Amino acid sequence: SSSSRDDSLRDKRARILSRGLPKQKPIEGVKQVVVLASGKGGVGKSTTAVNVALALAANDSTKEVGLLDADIYGPSIPKMMNLKGNPELTPKNLMRPLKNYGIACMSMGFLIEETAPVVWRGLMVMSAVEKLLRQVDWGQLDYLVIDMPPGTGDVQLSVSQNIPIAGAVIISTPQDVALLDACKGAEMFRKVHVPVLGLIQNMSVFQCPKCKHETHIFGADGVRDLAKTLGLDILGDIPLHLNIRETCDSGQPVVISQPQSDA
């Protein structure tokens, strides 16, 4: 009958698709992986990833935390974490992460010249991501925070399908254009069965340092509204604050350099 033919076709298609997907394999020594992602660039994802990694370590000094910069084209973790140099190799030919503020860090930025552009096709990028995931000696980590590149492309899919991820955090500004892409990012993780832990509203409000007047430059509560629509939690509101930008640019993130500040 036609229905049994349809069933057998569906089964065959499912078998072919399942063969094509890589088997998830944990990163050796890493207990939990948390990815920080954004639908588009320029929303402060890397700044937030750096401060989240430092905050996880500051919150519990018994926990070991690592930070992986998966943005191959625009790595910014080396500058923000004040790290330079090439990783050493272990006897097993694995790269040793560079360390600062107690955080083990790995980035494409350690492997290329600071000003050199990465002019690669997709396959080369995927190979680099695979090396950053599998050919690094992380030691024993309680948390590995992965700073994802913006968007919903090959790198995001590859990371999501290759390693078990405890959860994803989506960063967005309240601006409508950013929210459209943040929504796509959240839906992508749901499709690949990665739990979305919640959204962070970044650059939510600007306070004038002189008169203290508050201005919602990118709009007010856009991420909160999106979170309600998607049935997700808001994990935090981060203001558009000069100190947050300056401290990351100088390689002394605000969580380390100004731990008592509101930011």
Q: What is the CATH number of the domain that holds 190?
A: 3.40.50.300
Rounded distance between C-alpha atoms, residue 86 and residue 249, angstroms: 21
| pLDDT class of 17 with cuts at 50, 70, 90 | low
Amino acid symbol at 158: S
pLDDT cut 70: percent of the chain above it = 95
Strands 141-147 and 167-172: unpaired
Model pLDDT, residue 129:
87
Positive or negative: CA dihedral 234, 237, 240, 242 = negative
pTM, 2 dp: 0.85
Kindly state whether residue 66 falls inside one of the protein's structural domains. yes
Q: pLDDT tens across 199-236, in order?
A: 999 898 888 888 888 888 888 888 888 888 889 999 98
Q: pLDDT tens across 29-62, in order?
A: 999 999 999 878 889 899 999 999 999 999 999 9
Rounded distance between C-alpha atoms, residue 218 and residue 205, angstroms: 8
Per the structure, the count of domains in the chain is 1
Answer whether 199's CB lies under 8 Å from 170's CB.
yes
Kindly state whether residue 4 falls inside one of the protein's structural domains. no
Q: CB-hemisphere CA count at 13 Å for 76?
A: 20
Element (H, E) at 242: helix 242-249
Enumerate residues 6+ apart whose C-beta is below 8 A from 100. 81, 82, 83
Length reported for the chain: 263
Domain that holds residue 172: 27-258
Kindly state whether residue 59 falls inside one of the protein's structural domains. yes
| pLDDT class of 22 with cuts at 50, 70, 90 | low
Model pLDDT, residue 209:
80
Kindly state whether residue 21 falls inside one of the protein's structural domains. no
Q: pLDDT tens across 142-199, in order?
A: 999 999 988 877 888 888 888 999 999 999 988 888 888 889 889 999 888 899 999 9
> At residue 93, does pLDDT exceed 70?
yes
Q: CB-hemisphere CA count at 13 Å for 123?
A: 0
CB atoms within 10 A of CB 62: 6
Kindly state whether residue 7 falls inside one of the protein's structural domains. no
